[in-house]
Amino acid sequence: MHIDLSRKTALVTGSSAGIGFSIARGLAGAGAEVVVNGRSEGTVAAAVDKIREEFPDAVVRAAVADVSTEEGADRVVESAGDVDVLVNNLGIFGATPALEITDDDWRRYFEVNVLAAVRLTRLLLPAMIERGWGRVLNIASDSAVVIAEEMIHYGTSKTALLAASRGFAKAAAGTGVTVNSVIAGPTHTGGVEDFVYQLVDRSLPWEQAQREFMRANRPQSLLQRLIEPEEIANMVVYLASPLASATTGGAVRVDGGYVDSILP
């Protein structure tokens, strides 16, 4: 199976590190022109340089702005130009006891995890429809369907993202544009390492801490390990390609069997 995204431009939000970086890297490797986004000029530039170093022929550009704000989203859209593939990866997460999550916390999680994706989709989807081809991919989470007590604000925001994805897929029905969400399972990133150490003994070496976290907090995982970001990126690159033309309105799982369901 050969995936060719040459002559396609992909915008990946929150892509200076973690899953977003792996997605940007994967899309560049498939031939797409990639726009790397983040809030820090230094980290975005470093991510761009790293991808260019690995793929010297790739066209990789920077778009520095906070897309969880209207002004930031407008700047990124203007900088990116015509976007064929939009990957709404930006997200925040953290552990807070359910009864201690404040109104401000709820608003912040909705702004960053839901409204940023909705806003960019609203800005970019019409042109995709007009051109008759496009891909919108929203990076969701197993927490959207298996709500963890210590992070119900995060889980609820990702549930909302699944609903928004399905709705926008209906808005694009029959146009050649697909809209899907990717349900990512527990994934190994720097941010997740910090999260793991919120829940297990910080004195434990990482490999032991990871195993303890999965045993105590994610025992239903069939993979029984954290997923690597590249494994999420592989699915995103496929869904962004012409090969996935019949997949739309879906919530595609890359969760290591974490969600106890036989349906996607």
What are the structure tokens assigned to 193, written together? 């390492």
Taking residue 224's Cβ as centre, other Cβ atoms within 10 Å add up to 13
Pair 148, 211 in one domain:
no
- What is the count of structural domains for the chain? 2
> What average pLDDT score do residues 188-215 get?
90
Query: What residues make up the domain containing 56?
Result: 9-187+231-254
What are the structure tokens assigned to 21, written together? 């970086």
CATH number for the domain harbouring residue 167: 3.40.50.720
- Is residue 264 one of the residues assigned to a domain? no
Pair 125, 161 in one domain:
yes
Pair 76, 154 in one domain:
yes
- What band does 133 get if pLDDT is binned at 50, 70 and 90? very high
Q: Which residues are catalytic?
A: 154
**Tens-digit pLDDT profile for residues 214-263:** 999 889 999 988 999 999 999 999 999 999 999 999 999 999 999 998 88
Pair 64, 162 in one domain:
yes
Pair 117, 218 in one domain:
no
- Is residue 137 one of the residues assigned to a domain? yes
Report how far apart the first and last C-alpha atoms of the chain are (Å, whole number): 22
> Which residue has tokens 């994706």?
117
pLDDT beyond 80 at 167: yes
Pair 134, 201 in one domain:
no
Q: Which helix (H) or strand (E) element contains residue 221? A: none
Pair 181, 205 in one domain:
no
Taking residue 223's Cβ as centre, other Cβ atoms within 10 Å add up to 15
Pair 51, 127 in one domain:
yes
- In this structure, the chain runs to a length of 264
- Exposed, middle or buried: residue 42 (CB in 10 Å: 0-12, 13-18, 19+)? exposed
